[in-house]
Amino acid sequence: MPKLIVVNREGEESTVEVGEGLTVMEAIRDNGFDELLALCGGCCSCATCHVMVDSGPTDKLPAMSEDEDDLLESSDHRAENSRLSCQIPLTSELDGLKVTIAPED
């Protein structure tokens, strides 16, 4: 099972084990991080699951789609390492990925 390191908005770091096939968004939501709203449920139609990818196997991340890029443009907190967590499926290749939940827009 891949491990995902999540930093909440208060800066507290937690490690969660995640079943393969779930997205980063599902892993965060299912492990009690209520601050990640994920209003669209993973359909890539909002930016309420915005995270910053801090470290880990970032070279194994899927390419950002045009839709994801457009949605992130609407965030006041977009950074170079911004991603929508619903667009990152967790696989064993991403074991140890570390993300920080972005500030709320």
Strands 97-101 and 50-55: antiparallel
Give 57-73 pLDDT, tens digit per residue: 999 999 999 999 999 99
Give 13-31 pLDDT, tens digit per residue: 999 999 878 999 999 999 9
Give the 3-state secondary structure of residue 7: strand
User: Is the domain defined by 3-101 classed in CATH 3.10.20.30?
Assistant: yes
Does residue 89 contact residue 22 with C-beta atoms inside 8 Å? yes
Q: Residue 25 class from Cβ within 10 Å (0-12 exposed, 13-18 middle, 19+ buried)?
A: buried
| Whether the model pTM is above 0.85 | yes
Does residue 82 contact residue 88 with C-beta atoms inside 8 Å? no
pLDDT > 90? residue 78? yes
Does residue 52 contact residue 58 with C-beta atoms inside 8 Å? no
Domains of the chain: which residue ranges?
3-101
Beta bridge partners of 84: 50
